[in-house]
């Protein structure tokens, strides 16, 4: 993953670790279904300008570590990935609907954690606390100017 990305109005480094489960935590993400889920999730992320670093589809949950542009909130990222993947997986494997009453592939909830590489939470806390306290503090470098 690239450390810093740019868009027309932003310079950013937004990485998320996301986890969600099939409805009722059913063990349905196996074999061809799991492989197809990986393909669909990668394609959906790419179509929306996201970059997948690591993806693991287990029989009862999905882990994805990705970078997303700031125009998408973490909730929107999850909504995009879950809705597109559900539609495409049901299209390819219609028999799954009979295993998941109610016609939904994914549980409503999810786990999200923002992830940083070089700039940790403690570095940001110290920078904010002490930025006006010392005149000799070096400006925090937000991105490489080269």
Q: Any idea which residues carry the catalytic annotation?
A: 127
Sequence-distant (6+) residues with CB within 8 A of 140 are 119, 123, 127
Residue 72 DSSP class: S
Spatial separation of the C-alpha atoms in residues 126 and 78, rounded to whole Å: 31
Report CA-CA distances (Å) from 135 to 126, 130, 131, 141: 14, 10, 8, 16
Spatial separation of the C-alpha atoms in residues 99 and 83, rounded to whole Å: 18
Residue 48 CB coordination number (10 Å) = 16
């Amino acid at each position: 993953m690239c450390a810093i990305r740019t868009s027309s109005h932003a310079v950013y480094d937004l990485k998320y670790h996301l986890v969600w489960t099939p409805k009722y935590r059913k063990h349905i993400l196996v074999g061809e279904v799991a492989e197809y889920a990986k393909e669909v999730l990668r394609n959906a992320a790419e179509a929306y300008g996201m970059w997948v670093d690591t993806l693991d589809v287990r029989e009862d949950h999905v882990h994805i570590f990705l970078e997303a542009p700031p125009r998408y909130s973490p909730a929107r990222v999850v909504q995009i990935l879950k809705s597109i993947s559900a539609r495409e997986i049901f299209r390819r494997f219609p028999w799954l609907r009979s295993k998941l009453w109610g016609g939904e592939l994914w549980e409503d909830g999810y786990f999200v954690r923002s992830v940083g590489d070089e700039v940790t939470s403690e570095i940001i806390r110290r920078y904010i606390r002490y930025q006006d306290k010392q005149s000799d503090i070096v400006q925090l470098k937000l991105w490489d100017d080269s």
